[in-house]
C-alpha cells in the first residue's frame, strides 16, 4: 500500500492576544524600515509578540538572547579554520541581514558596548551593516527588521544605547495585561477553566501589589501560565502556585511563606 502523500501544512501563527494597537504599529514600522524597541517587565509577552509578528509578516525570526559577554563579533561572525584554510561564518545579525529576516536582540543592553556601534550603522537611514573582517558592507533589504527589548525594571537603557541610536527606534511599551485579557491568556495557554484562570490572575494582582516583600520583579504572565499548566496536570492549586510562582520570585523562605499566605487567601475565597 502506498503511503498517503504528505501535504505541507501552513505553520500555525503563534497565539498572541493584543492589549492595544501593537500589531498595526509593528506592521507600520516594518513597512517603513523602522527598528522597534519593546520595553516591559519579564514574562509579559514581548517574545511571543515578536514570534507572532514574524509569522504574520512571513519573515524568518533570528533571536539572540543578549548577555554581558556578547560582543560585536558574536553578532557579525568570525573566521573559522577548516581543512582547506579559513572560512567565514556569519553571526546571527549578519545572517538576518543577508536573509531579510527579523532579528530580535532580547535584552539588548546586557550586551557589550561594542555592539551598539554596529547597531548604530544598521539603524541609520542607510541601513548598512559593515563587516570589517571581511571588508563587506551589507545593505539591509526592505524585509530585514531589527527588534530589541529591554526591561526598564532593572536595566538602564539610557546608559546602554546611544541617544542617536535610541531615537531611531519606534518604542512599544508592554505591561501586565488587563485582568480579563490576562485571564483569557492564562486559560488558553495553560488549558485550564475560566474560573481557575481568574483566580490565578487575582493572585497575581495581590502579589504585584505586595511591594513590602521587596521582590526583585513582580510575577509576569509567564508564571501564571506555568502554575496553570501544573493545575491542568492535576497538581493541587496551592502546590502549583508555590513551585510555579512563589519559588521563582524569591529564595527567602520567610518571603515564600508570607506569599504562601496570600495564595491561601485567594484559593480559600
Ligand atoms: N499577549 C499574550 N498572548 C498570548 N500569550 C501570552 C501573552 N502574554 C504573555 N503570554 C504567555 O506568557 C508567556 C511568557 O511570555 P513571553 O513572550 O515569553 O514574555 P517576555 O518575552 O516578555 O519575557 C508566553 O509563553 C505565553 O504563554
Ligand atoms: Mg522574552
Q: For each of the chain's 269 residues, which pLDDT tens digit applies?
A: 555 666 666 678 999 999 999 999 999 999 999 999 999 999 999 999 999 999 999 999 999 999 989 999 999 999 999 999 999 999 999 999 999 999 999 988 888 888 888 888 899 888 999 999 999 999 999 999 999 998 887 666 555 566 777 788 999 999 999 999 999 999 999 999 999 999 999 999 999 988 777 788 899 999 999 999 999 999 999 999 999 999 999 999 999 999 999 999 998 86
Give residue 269 CA to ligand 1 midpoint distance, Å: 27
- For residue range 78-96, list pLDDT tens digits in order: 999 999 999 999 999 999 9
Which ligand gives the minimal distance to the CA of 17?
1
Which of 18, 188, 221, when mutated, tests ligand 1's pocket best, judged by the most ligand atoms within 8 Å of its CB? 221
Q: Is the CB of 42 under 6 A from ligand 1?
A: yes
User: Hey, CA dihedral for 66, 70, 71, 77, is it positive or negative?
Assistant: negative
Q: Is the CB of 188 under 6 A from ligand 1?
A: no
Give residue 81 CA to ligand 2 midpoint distance, Å: 34
Q: How far apart are CA 208 and CA 176, in angstroms?
A: 10
Give residue 6 CA to ligand 2 midpoint distance, Å: 34
Q: What are phi and psi of 103, to 5 degrees?
A: -105, 120
DSSP-assigned states of every residue in 210-222: -GGG--SS---HH
Which of 39, 48, 228, when mutated, tests ligand 1's pocket best, judged by the most ligand atoms within 8 Å of its CB? 48
The CATH number that domain 22-173 falls under is 3.40.50.300
Give residue 43 CA to ligand 1 midpoint distance, Å: 6
Q: Is the CB of 225 under 6 A from ligand 1?
A: yes
DSSP-assigned states of every residue in 228-257: HHHHHTT--HHHHHIIIIIHHH---HHHHH
Strands 77-82 and 85-90: antiparallel
Which ligand gives the minimal distance to the CA of 223?
1
Q: Is the CB of 91 under 6 A from ligand 1?
A: no
- With beta carbons less than 8 A apart as the criterion, state whether 116 and 160 touch: yes
- For residue range 28-76, list pLDDT tens digits in order: 999 999 999 999 999 999 999 999 999 999 999 999 999 989 999 999 9
Q: Is the CB of 150 under 6 A from ligand 1?
A: no
Give residue 110 CA to ligand 1 midpoint distance, Å: 21
Q: Is the CB of 43 under 6 A from ligand 1?
A: yes
Give residue 16 CA to ligand 1 midpoint distance, Å: 8
Q: How far apart are CA 164 and CA 168, in angstroms?
A: 7
Amino acid at each position: 500500500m502506498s503511503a498517503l502523500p504528505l501535504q505541507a501544512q501552513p505553520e500555525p501563527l503563534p497565539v498572541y492576544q493584543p492589549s492595544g494597537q501593537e500589531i498595526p504599529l509593528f506592521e507600520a514600522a516594518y513597512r517603513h524600515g523602522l527598528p522597534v524597541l519593546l520595553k516591559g517587565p519579564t514574562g509579559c509577552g514581548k517574545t511571543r509578540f515578536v514570534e507572532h509578528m514574524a509569522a504574520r509578516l512571513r519573515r524568518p525570526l533570528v533571536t539572540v538572547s543578549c548577555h554581558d559577554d556578547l560582543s560585536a563579533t558574536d553578532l557579525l561572525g568570525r573566521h573559522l579554520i577548516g581543512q582547506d584554510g579559513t572560512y567565514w561564518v556569519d553571526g546571527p545579525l549578519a545572517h538576518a541581514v543577508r536573509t531579510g529576516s527579523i532579528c530580535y536582540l532580547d535584552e539588548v543592553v546586557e550586551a557589550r558596548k561594542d555592539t551598539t556601534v554596529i547597531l548604530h550603522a544598521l539603524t541609520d537611514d542607510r541601513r548598512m551593516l559593515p563587516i570589517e573582517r571581511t571588508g563587506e558592507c551589507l545593505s539591509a533589504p526592505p524585509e530585514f527588521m531589527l527588534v530589541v527589548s529591554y526591561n526598564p525594571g532593572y536595566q538602564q537603557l539610557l546608559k546602554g544605547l546611544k541617544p542617536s541610536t535610541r531615537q531611531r527606534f519606534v518604542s512599544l511599551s508592554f505591561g501586565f495585561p488587563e485582568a480579563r485579557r490576562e485571564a483569557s491568556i492564562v486559560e488558553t495557554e495553560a488549558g485550564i477553566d475560566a474560573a481557575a484562570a481568574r483566580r490565578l490572575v487575582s493572585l497575581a494582582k495581590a502579589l504585584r501589589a505586595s511591594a513590602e516583600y521587596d521582590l526583585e520583579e513582580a510575577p509576569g504572565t509567564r508564571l501564571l501560565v506555568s502554575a496553570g499548566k501544573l493545575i491542568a496536570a492535576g497538581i493541587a492549586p496551592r502546590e502549583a502556585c508555590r513551585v510555579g510562582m512563589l519559588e521563582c520570585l524569591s529564595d527567602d523562605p520567610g518571603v515564600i511563606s508570607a506569599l504562601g499566605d496570600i495564595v491561601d487567601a485567594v484559593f480559600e475565597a
